[in-house]
Amino acid sequence: METVVSGIRSTGNLHLGNYFGALRNFIKMQESANCYFFIADYHSLTTHPDPAALHGNVRSILAEYLAAGLDPEKSAIFIQSDMPQVAELYLLLNMHAYIGELERTASFKEKMRKHADNVNAGLLTYPTLMAADILIHRADKVPVGKDQEQHLEMTRKFARRFNTKYGVNYFPEPEPYNFGSDLVKVPGLDGSGKMGKSEGNGIYLADSDTDIRKKVMRAVTDSGPTEPNSEMPETIRNIFTLLEIVSSPDTVAYFRERYADCSIRYGDLKKQLAEDIIATVAPIRERIVAIQNDDVYLSQVARRGAERAQESARKTIAEVREIMGIKRF
Ligand code: TYM
């Protein structure tokens, strides 16, 4: 059976990018694979070290995982910081990660620009911690959005390097994965770029119907096509990308035709988009409300998940120590 690992940082509530880029795939994959899904709270410390908010963020993502359909009977659902083995593998992998390649990582360069006052070693070694999360379970597949592609390339490189250095065939080279198609990039509602937590352009799984309608109606558009079959500008393409993600093919075709013959009314397009987003989000939101204050259930899930994940992680660490020549007296 294939092993699947993935996680989401605990920097705030989950948005549609997280859901369609990652979480929806977690839910499908748990039916047929050996799955480990976690909340990356260590990773959130690289940019959001806020002791007052950290636990609350972890807890809301845990509730959102469960509300969206992750099943603790099928997957190991756990918190990254409950895994000392991950911290150890991170340390060991860092011995074979070169400063040059870490500095060249696109996400590091972007973070250097955005957080110029806090370019810390955790940011630099973000990809080795992520590789440790994945390799600790010797994963085959990692469901992620398009923005994680380079991190996965580095994970494969670290796995290959370890195997070559120690003359073993120990770590599989894990592939990024999206159910049945290419990795996705869910656009934001502000006309350009991807939906993100720090971009302020997101629709969240916890948003009310009213918020969703308001946000969608405010999405950036233009004055409309003036010539038949004209090419769409990025702002409009983004709205169609969202429509393709949440709406039926008939709906998408209907609005594409209206765009092509210049009869489209963006108000109608947005209304439809908002309703189709609500159809995805509303049932999840209702379950979030039901679960989020159930402390007993949430801690049961996290403890049980950590036990399962640690079982697999302990085995890997023992084998890695053996391969690297670390022996106990
Ligand atoms: P994070 O927390 O930024 O995002 C979590 C997941 O959501 C996906 N995602 C998107 N997908 C499509 N369109 C978007 N607009 C969008 N925004 C976010 C991301 O691709 C990701 O899959 N480094 C990871 C967390 C992590 C991890 C791991 C993932 C830590 N260790 C090990 C997999 C395996 C991150 O920052 O994701």
Ligand 1 touching residue 9 (CB < 6 A): yes
* Dihedral sign (CA 44, 9, 213, 210): negative
Residue 132 alpha carbon to ligand 1 centre in Å: 15
What angle, 0 to 180 degrees and rounded to 10, lies between the N-to-C axes of helices 126-135 and 149-166? 70
- For residue 12 and ligand 1, the question of a CB distance below 6 A is answered with no
Sequence letter at residue 306: A
134 lines ligand 1 (CB under 6 A): yes
* Cβ proximity of 135 and 171 under 8 Å: yes
Which amino acid makes up residue 155?
T
**pLDDT of res. 5:** 98
Residue 329 is predicted with a pLDDT of 93
Torsion angle in degrees (nearest 10) through CA of 195, 104, 3, 182: 50
| Under-50 pLDDT residues of the chain | none
185 Cβ closer than 6 Å to some ligand 1 atom: yes
For residue 159, the model assigns a pLDDT of 98
The C-alpha atoms of residue 81 and residue 49 are separated, in whole angstroms, by: 14
Query: Do β-strands 141-143 and 75-79 pair in parallel, antiparallel, or remain unpaired?
Result: unpaired
CA of 223 from ligand 1 middle (Å) equals 34
Question: If you search the block for the tokens 């308001």, which residue do you land on?
Answer: 214
Question: Which residues neighbour 25 within 8 Å (Cβ) at sequence distance 6 or greater?
Answer: 6, 143, 177, 178, 179
CA end-to-end span of the chain, whole Å?
Answer: 36
The structure tokens listed for 254 are: 């209907």
Nearest to 301 by CA among 39, 87, 85: 39
pLDDT at 256: 97
Counting atoms of ligand 1 from 1, which one is nearest the CA of 144?
Answer: 22
Taking CA atoms only, the protein residue closest to ligand 1 atom 7 is 18
The residues, ordered by sequence, that sit 6+ positions from 295 with a Cβ below 8 Å of its Cβ are: none
pLDDT of residue 237: 95
**Is there an atom of ligand 1 within 6 Å of 202 CB?**
no
Question: Which pLDDT score is estimated for 180?
Answer: 76
The rounded Å distance from CA 231 to ligand 1 centre is 31
* pTM more than 0.75: yes
Q: For residue 125, what pLDDT is reported?
A: 98
Is 144 close to ligand 1, i.e. is its CB under 6 Å away?
A: yes
Contact 42, 73 (CB under 8 A): no
CA distance 41 to 154: 21
d(C-alpha 155, C-alpha 160), whole Å? 9
**Structure tokens of 157?**
């490189």
Q: Is the CB of 201 under 6 A from ligand 1?
A: no
What's the number of CA atoms in the CB half-sphere (13 Å) around residue 150?
Answer: 12
H helices within the chain, ranges in order? 16-18, 24-29, 41-44, 51-68, 84-94, 99-103, 106-114, 121-124, 126-135, 149-166, 209-217, 234-246, 249-260, 266-291, 295-324
**What number does the ligand 1 atom closest to the CA of 18 have?**
7
Q: What is the pLDDT of residue 192?
A: 74
Cα distance between residue 326 and residue 142, in whole Å: 29
- Give the torsion sign (CA, 297, 11, 128, 1): positive
Q: What are phi and psi of 7, to 5 degrees?
A: -155, 170
Q: How far apart are CA 53 and CA 204, in angstroms?
A: 18
DSSP 8-state assignment for residue 232: P
Q: 298: Cβ–Cβ under 8 A, 6 or more apart, which residues?
A: 59, 62, 63, 66, 291, 292
Separation CA 59–CA 210 (nearest Å): 25
Q: Which residues are catalytic?
A: 111, 194, 197
Residue 48 pLDDT: 81
Among 8, 140, 149, 184, the mutation site with the greatest number of ligand 1 atoms within 8 A of its Cβ is: 8
